[in-house]
Amino acid sequence: MIKSFKKIFGEGLFKDSLFVAISNIYSKFMAYIFYFITAIFLGTESFGLLRGLLPLLDVFTIFFCSGIPPSMAKHISEDGTTNWTVDILKVMFILSIVGALLLILSKNILGGGYKQVSLDIYLVLGVAIILSSIISWSRGVLQGLLKIKVLSLTWIIESSLKVLSLPILIIMYGVLGPFISISVGYALSGIYGILKLSSIISFKNITSLKINIQMVKKILFYGVPIALSTASYRLLNDLDSMFIMALLGSYENGLYGYPSLLSRGAFLFAFAISVPLVPRIAKSKDINDFKKSIILNFIAILPLIIIFNLFPSEILKLFFGVVNLDSSFSLRILSISAGFMSSYTLCSSALQGLGRAEIPLYVLIIGILINGILNYALIPIYGIIGGAIATLISSIFIFIGVFIGILKYYKDYT
């Protein structure tokens, strides 16, 4: 039995999974620290501006760049060749330019608070999208070649550079600083990935206009659904902030951003649990593993929910020096919403492990529509509290939807 354990833990799959899990959890934690630093260093209005623009950046980056790497990884592992990957880099670079231009145009399309933002900030965001194509491409190739250690290091380098450069860049450039730090993280981690791949892949034809059209079609066909699913999940998490930014402006969005940031702490527990849950469920198909994950997550976040509901004003004043009744009430609502959304994360991971990843996607799309309609209806009436209520209602719906999906699967399976 000891030999069996040694064999399992000594296998490349276990080590690779461990590297990815650690780097992912580290990246999520550093992303949370990134927001926390900006909340402390920037004023309420500038922080609200950041909270309104970063979801836009993420959605455009995911849709135009980050959906392609998983498709690349799949085809590299199946075909065993990489001679077409430089062609994909060219396509990704072109797509990133399209994404950057569309993001800049969104300034006038979204209107409201978004229209008041300086064009300089949109230009910096556009540069960040273009730079993201490099690191996204590198990760797709590294994953396909099973260079998992290097892949994991790209996440660690990117997230570390963004946070370490953040205070200095905020002091130097103010609200532009966080957006520049993102570009720095993308650029340097991308360069690191390309340097590691330079001994494997030839970049001689990088300037050639010829591309493998057939392979590009295959990669995009497989990558678009992934991009839509990931972008939808990202959009749902910050749709409330985007509506508040558009309808009420950056200052109100900053007041909402503080409780939203604190409530997001609950997601760190759920994400840490969900990383090993997918392969575990995929192997065992045991509902008890899912039950344990829900109970463990509930035990971890219940104290946070209780504290946020008992002392919301004191916590907001302690961390951000903010005294605002709407922010305090929003923290109460959003902490409960975070409980449902963290449970949704675990349900979604379990369904992925069961091979039913389409269920969370369908529920998510409906949830986004509900969230958008509620935000549009409630924010003009109740202000930022309306955004919190919209998030809570849609979170409850999304959780119930995927939970029913799991129960139905196990009922049919057994």
Question: If DSSP states are collapsed to H, E and C, what string results for 123-187?
Answer: HHHHHHHHHHHHHHHHHHHHHHCCCHHHHHHHHHHHHHHHHHHHHHHHHHHCCHHHHHHHHHHHH
Residue type, 229: S
The distance from CA 253 to its chain's CA centroid, rounded to whole angstroms, is 20
d(CA 386, CA 255): 13
d(CA 129, CA 100): 6
d(CA 178, CA 48): 13
pLDDT at site 362: 84
Contact 151, 20 (CB under 8 A): yes
What are the φ and ψ backbone dihedral angles of 202, each rounded to 5 degrees? -90, 130
d(CA 166, CA 154): 18
What are the pLDDT tens digits along the chain (414 aa)?
Answer: 444 434 444 444 456 556 666 777 788 889 889 999 999 999 899 999 999 999 889 888 888 887 788 888 878 877 777 788 888 889 899 999 999 999 999 988 888 889 989 999 999 999 999 999 999 999 888 888 878 788 889 989 999 999 999 999 999 999 999 999 999 999 999 999 999 988 888 777 777 777 888 888 888 877 777 777 777 777 777 889 999 999 999 999 999 999 998 988 777 777 666 656 655 666 666 677 777 777 877 888 888 899 999 999 999 999 888 889 999 999 999 999 988 988 888 887 777 767 776 788 788 889 889 999 999 999 999 999 999 999 999 999 999 998 888 887 766 655
The distance from CA 125 to its chain's CA centroid, rounded to whole angstroms, is 16
Token duo for residue 288: 């008890």
Q: What are all long-range contacts of 202-206, with beta carbons under 8 Å and residues at least 24 apart?
A: 202/86, 203/86, 205/86, 206/86, 206/89, 206/90
d(CA 396, CA 97): 37
325-353 vs 358-382: helix axis angle to the nearest 10?
A: 170
Residue type, 248: L
**Tokens 């461990």 found at:** 18
pLDDT at site 5: 39
d(CA 47, CA 175): 8
d(CA 21, CA 190): 20
pLDDT at site 414: 53
Residue type, 106: S
Nearest Cα to Cα of residue 32 among 271, 251, 314 = 271
